[in-house]
Amino acid sequence: MNWVAEELWDVDLGDARRNRRLVKIVEDLVAQPGSPKKVRMHCSGEQSTKLHQYNSPTS
């Protein structure tokens, strides 16, 4: 286990896949801290999902 996983061991995002993804994102950002491309890569999909949810009519 690396230090990122040790620091985030008790995070509960409601799904083990989300927890693993968070660890991967933080590891990538730590590996290249000055790379805005990494931030956009990890956030672009989630942002479009959020916009879709906000623009969808509620049932």
Which one, of 20, 19, 29, 23, lies nearest residue 4 by Cα? 23
Alpha carbon distance 10, 5 (integer Å): 9
Residue of higher predicted confidence among 53 and 15? 15
pTM above 0.85, yes or no: no
Express each pLDDT in 8-37 by its tens digit.
999 999 999 999 999 998 898 888 877 666
Position 30 scores a pLDDT of: 85
Query: Residues 50-55: what's their mean pLDDT?
Result: 48
User: Which residues constitute the domain of residue 47?
Assistant: 3-55
Q: What is the DSSP letter of 15?
A: S
Q: Give the number of domains in the chain.
A: 1
